[in-house]
Amino acid sequence: MSLSLGSNSQARRSLTIYARRAVLNVAMLLRDSEVARQVRVYLLDMEYAARAQPVENPAPTDVVSLDDRIDQRITHILGKTVVPMFNALIETSGEHRREMIALRAGVQRIERRLHQHHTRLQRLEGLRDDRPAIGVMAAMDAMHGRTFEHHIAKLLRRDGCTNVVVQGGHGDRGVDIIALTADGRRLVAQCKRFAPYLNITSPDVQRFVGSAKVLHSAEVALFVATCPFTPEALSIASEAGITAVHRGVLEEWSAGEPLRVLG
């Protein structure tokens, strides 16, 4: 009995002899296959028909036994019908197996990607102590100038400052807030609520240096702004001992991170 096994690259044929009992055993094992069920029924029917059919007495010269004739008939039937069905079953099973393996590999890749995305989302959405609260800067951008000054005064009180006075307006002598730090140093602050696309320039810082250091003899001077500082303005502030609280630092400060200069 010949079984032809298919492959992806090319078909290979081999000749293998199986007893009908072996084929029947294989068909019995494949319980969930419709083809295997048909093979079992066919083999059993042919076995019964071959043995029930009367056979003439063989001639003395005929050495072929009854069982041999039955085997020949069954072998002929198997070669014409059952073997092609088995070949189709084997090839189909192989294709399904390869498909299932490929599908499993695809599912595993998707699971890995989902796990990676889940980890990234947790990292991005998770609350961290050093991460500014959502909407802090949007809230300050919507404030009026006076409201913004009181917001900065509130942050100063939160960080231990005392005698905090908001004096922005005419006659403020170039500063908006005066206070004492927790350790008793004299503090002044200039508050600028500018649009995020604007900048604090060097002339802005220079004017504040004169007010903070000369007019108020401040030991701690804060220039707080809702926008960035130009590089030159940052350089002047550093040389003059002014703490530039630009947009990024202001966001962290408002979210709970204390200013180092106040400690």
Structural domain spans, the chain: 2-124, 136-262
Q: Report the pLDDT value the prediction gives residue 101, as an integer from 0 to 100.
A: 76
Q: Report the pLDDT value the prediction gives residue 63, as an integer from 0 to 100.
A: 47
Q: Report the pLDDT value the prediction gives residue 98, as an integer from 0 to 100.
A: 76
Q: How far apart are the first and last CA of the chain?
A: 93
Q: What is the mean pLDDT of residues 166-177?
A: 77
Distance CA 44, CA 202 (A): 102
Q: Give me the chain's average pLDDT, please.
A: 76
**Residue 189 burial (10 A CB sphere; 0-12, 13-18, 19+):** buried
Cβ contacts of 52-60, under 8 Å, gap ≥ 24: none
Q: Which of 73, 78, 85, 81 minimizes the C-alpha distance to 30?
A: 85
pLDDT digit string, tens, across residues 49-60: 666 655 555 544
Q: What is the mean pLDDT of residues 15-35?
A: 62
pTM of the model: 0.49
Cβ contacts of 7 within 8 Å, gap of 6 or more? none
Write the DSSP assignment of 153-176 as a string of letters: HHHHHHTT-EEEEE--STT-TT-S
Q: Report the pLDDT value the prediction gives residue 127, as an integer from 0 to 100.
A: 44
Q: What is the largest CA-CA distance in the chain?
A: 140
For the record, the structure tokens of 102 come out as 């490929």
At residue 192, the 3 state secondary structure works out as strand
Q: What's at 242, amino acid-wise?
A: I
Q: What are phi and psi of 30, to 5 degrees?
A: -85, 75
Residue 100 has pLDDT above 60, yes or no: yes
Q: What is the mean pLDDT of residues 173-192?
A: 93
CATH architecture of 136-262: 3-Layer(aba) Sandwich (3.40)
* 7-11, 72-76, 175-179: least confident range: 7-11
Residue 105 has pLDDT above 80, yes or no: no
Residue 240 has pLDDT above 60, yes or no: yes
Q: Report the pLDDT value the prediction gives residue 132, as an integer from 0 to 100.
A: 44
Give 108's pLDDT tier (boundaries 50, 70, 90): confident
